[in-house]
Structure 1
Amino acid sequence: MRASPAAGHTPAPTLGQQTRTGTLHLAFEVRGGRTVLMREFQKAPLMIVRPFALPCGTLSVFVVNPTGGLLGGDHNEIQISVGPGAKALILTQSATRVQPSATGAAATQAVHLSVACGGRLEYYPERVLPFAGSRLHQTLRVNLDSGAQLGLTETLASGRVHAGERLAFVEYRSRTEVWCGPQRLYLDVLRLTPAPQTRAPGIWQHLDYAASGVFVGPGEIGNWPNVLGRLASGLSAGGAVWLRAAAARGPCLDADLYEARQSLRQQLFGAQPLKIRR
């Protein structure tokens, strides 16, 4: 087993391999009765579009990657903090395209979110799209203070389906966990390593798009989002609301996920429906 590099040290790329390390740090706080982006640090290829306030008072930010996506060996680091009373919505402009490298190295991404008491962070990135031969290792950790609110969804495609690359990636590995102080509210660990037999009809059947989510808020759920054969929700052992969905087509999954998010936001946060123009 190869030892991990020391913290803060990025190993030099091997001959013929160019790698990129994208960094994005955002801090939201309340000033003058409204949420503002107080601090930001951007390092290409991670960038943000100018923040804009929604009618509900939430500050929305789009994360963009102007390159062709994550190449094997690339690393993204995202840190987002939300202060007391602040409300932030983080979206991505497009899918996260994961491309292979000549050496077979994995692309990596580490996301760390923190929310203070009375704050709300909603993080709804577009789907991950793994190309044939690609690897992605991702970790996402959320630290909540007591009384903090969270909305989080993640979406995965089986590959570039229309290009005939269904389940042709080498590996997809993710670990998502949500903590409130010393208590873990939610843990989702996924590792997919497709093999030739996995790509045959009947393993994923006809479903090429999957989603998961977790929501934490003070409200109670009286109407659980559930669509037979397509979407389910429930309560984790730690008290967080979990969400699972799958569909044969991306737009169908997006529509189910949108309706489920709107329902959970209203019930848990008492929030009005989001209306975002891309």
Structure 2
Amino acid sequence: MASIPAATAAQGWCAHLKLRFTERGGQTYLSERQHHGPLVVQRAFHPEGGPCHTYLVHPPGGVVGGDHLGLEMNVERGAHSLITTPAATKFYRSDGRFAMQSQHLVLSASTLEWLPQETIFYRGARVRSETRVQLDAQSRFIGWEIPCLGLPARQEAFDAGELRLNLELWRDELPLFIDRMRLDGTGPERTARWGLAGFDAVGTLLAYPATTSMREAARSASAHDVESAVTLVDGVLVCRALGAQAEPVRRLFIAMWRMLRPELIGRPAVLPRIWAT
């Protein structure tokens, strides 16, 4: 993971959360939970028996320049964890400093569903964020990230600020998927046809190990006002989606997750209860 400059972290909120999930008797338990600063989890839920549903909570409600959020998660052999958030993550306008986020998710012959709600980057935000998923050949993963630029519903564009967003998927120390998004609010990439073509929500969904039937199922899903494409390379299903707002992209990804979960994980989709609130 990228190192965080100590001086930057010291000037804002520095929050770190470490989680470990362990399987015992066919049920997954949150066996270790350590936190420093304002990044916590609510109690674990088991709405479908074995899998453990857990909600990440950032009590301040938003991240500003100088803040650093760090997450380390280990899903041990045989365990099955589903992670989501109760609301969108928000990165507010910066005073010039970067806000930092690092998320390291490690799977060992286990299953992880990484289903956070969208991340909203306000005009003027300066953010460096990295999510790294590290698994082995016996593990199963499905997850997404949905950055939203500005506040489209309020006609507030992300026309100032700087984003450096990394998303990585590794298997046995070899890279399967590496994505680097670099966006300057004052540059042409947000509106140019070779860039985001004016779309403000940019979603990426990953599933491993995937099959051609899963690829075709994902391609059959659709959502109003969303442009999407699905590929399958080296066992990794990748869906890219662009939307005017985050909500249609999230609806599309939920529809795909409901289609893919039975084949990928062997369970029907059970929506996290927090999504209904």
Question: TM-score under structure 2 normalisation?
Answer: 0.87
Deviation at 1:58, TM superposition (A): 1.1
Rounded Cα–Cα distance in structure 2 between residues aligned with 1:218 and 1:206 = 31
Contact 2:183 2:190 in 1 (8 A): no
> Aligned to 2:259, which of 235, 243, 263?
263
**Partner secondary structure for residue 243 of structure 1:** strand
Paired position in structure 1 for 2:229: 232
Larger Rg: 1
Deviation at 1:271, TM superposition (A): 2.1
Paired position in structure 1 for 2:156: 165
Q: Which runs of 5+ in 1 are unaligned?
A: none
Deviation at 1:254, TM superposition (A): 1.9
1:54 aligns with 2:47: yes
**Partner secondary structure for residue 274 of structure 1:** coil
Going from structure 1 to structure 2, the CA distance change for 1:146 and 1:169 (only over 3 Å counts) comes to same
1:120 aligns with 2:111: yes
Paired position in structure 2 for 1:217: 209
Deviation at 1:201, TM superposition (A): 9.0
Provide, for residues 95-132 of structure 1, a one-character-per-residue CA deviation record: whole Å limited to 9, x for no partner.
11111332x01101111011111x10111111111111
Provide, for residues 205-234 of structure 1, a one-character-per-residue CA deviation record: whole Å limited to 9, x for no partner.
553222102111366535341249622211
Contact 1:166 1:199 in 2 (8 A): no
Deviation at 1:199, TM superposition (A): 6.6
Q: Which runs of 5+ in 2 are unaligned?
A: none
Look up the equivalent residue of 1:116 and give its one-letter code: S
Rounded Cα–Cα distance in structure 2 between residues aligned with 1:206 and 1:12 = 32
Within 5 Å, which residues of 2 pair with 1:172-211?
172-195=163-186, 204-205=196-197, 207-211=199-203
- Backbone CA RMSD of aligned residues: 2.5
Deviation at 1:84, TM superposition (A): 0.8
Rounded Cα–Cα distance in structure 1 between residues aligned with 2:19 and 2:187 = 42
Deviation at 1:141, TM superposition (A): 1.2
Paired position in structure 1 for 2:121: 130
Provide, for residues 219-255 of structure 1, a one-character-per-residue CA deviation record: whole Å limited to 9, x for no partner.
653534124962221113x321111112223332221
Contact 1:219 1:267 in 2 (8 A): no
Rounded Cα–Cα distance in structure 2 between residues aligned with 1:57 and 1:32 = 9
Provide, for residues 64-85 of structure 1, a one-character-per-residue CA deviation record: whole Å limited to 9, x for no partner.
1111311101111101110111
Contact 1:56 1:272 in 2 (8 A): no
Question: TM-score under structure 1 normalisation?
Answer: 0.87
Paired position in structure 1 for 2:71: 78
Within 5 Å, which residues of 2 pair with 1:93-108?
93-102=86-95, 104-108=96-100
Paired position in structure 1 for 2:237: 241
Deviation at 1:275, TM superposition (A): 2.0
Contact 2:164 2:181 in 1 (8 A): yes
Aligned-residue identity in percent = 26
**Partner secondary structure for residue 63 of structure 2:** coil
Paired position in structure 1 for 2:101: 109
Look up the equivalent residue of 1:156 and give its one-letter code: P
Count residues in correspondence: 267
Look up the equivalent residue of 1:106 and give its one-letter code: F
Paired position in structure 2 for 1:20: 13
Provide, for residues 126-155 of structure 1, a one-character-per-residue CA deviation record: whole Å limited to 9, x for no partner.
111111111111111111122101111000
Rounded Cα–Cα distance in structure 2 between residues aligned with 1:274 and 1:209 = 25
Rounded Cα–Cα distance in structure 2 between residues aligned with 1:21 and 1:13 = 6
- More displaced, 262-271 or 219-228? 219-228
Rounded Cα–Cα distance in structure 1 between residues aligned with 2:202 and 2:176 = 22
Contact 2:9 2:67 in 1 (8 A): no
Going from structure 1 to structure 2, the CA distance change for 1:213 and 1:167 (only over 3 Å counts) comes to same
